[in-house]
Copies of this chain bind each other. A is one copy, B any other.
């Protein structure tokens, strides 16, 4: 159930000086219930029924607050807008080059890469980023006319 994790996120916020507001609750709720990787604008559009006066700046502001607290991760892609992920445990993404669909997957061992990079470059390595690109099943099927 996504509600447990939503509650955990709310509790995490309470332990800071960040106040819970209706807008914040709605943004978090949307993130946890959709379980997708929405853009700021998608969130904004999804909530404009409930909050006709909400500013898009509020969405951006709060996503940054959530990021700082650590309950949301930002996924940045070159051309288009950032996407936001409420699953903060380590996992990777497969992205469809056709339709943009993003799917989570897990892979155990990439720490080896970090260690090698440290040795080869002399950097003190903290973390890494990886995505896999391809064609999703839906798009593959459509191509086969």
Contacts and interface: CB of A to CB of B under 8 A. Distances in A.
A35 interface: no
Contacts of A117: 92, 94, 105, 107, 132, 134
A129 B128 contact: no
Interface in A86-128: 92, 94, 96-97, 103, 105-107, 110, 113-114, 116-118, 120-128
Given A123-B137, A134-B125, A79 B76 contact: yes
B123 A132 contact: yes
A130 B29 CA distance: 31
Task: State the 7 A-B residue pairs at the shortest beta-carbon distance, nearest first.
Answer: A76-B78, A125-B134, A130-B130, A123-B134, A117-B132, A124-B135, A128-B132
